[in-house]
Amino acid sequence: MQQTFEAWITPLMIGGLIVFMCFIIWDLAKKSNAGKFGTIMLFVVLGAGMLGYVIKVVITWLIEGGNI
């Protein structure tokens, strides 16, 4: 039961954390009056870590699934 719960809740909570971090980046851009280009750069630079994590999860899932 606990393994099933952990298998479902972990991706859900990590997804929620990623959404929350996107909100934080947007709020930072809004409060600093970054403008359109500044907002895009904040999302690119600060969102790169989140994107790297998502890519790592997808690659791991593909390798463990035997699709590669």
The backbone region for 35, taken as left when phi is positive above 0, alpha when psi lies in -120 to 50, beta otherwise, is: left
pLDDT at position 31 = 95
Looking at residue 67, what is its pLDDT?
A: 66
User: What's CA 31's distance to the chain center, in Å?
Assistant: 22
pTM of the model: 0.74
In this structure, which amino acid lies at residue 45?
Answer: V
pLDDT at 10: 86
For residue 17, give the H/E element and its range. helix 2-31
Q: Could you tell me the sign of the dihedral formed by the alpha carbons of 51, 54, 58, 60, in that order?
A: positive
Instruction: Name residue, tokens 């699934």.
Output: 65
Which residues of the chain fall below pLDDT 50?
none
Q: What per-residue confidence (pLDDT) applies to 36?
A: 94
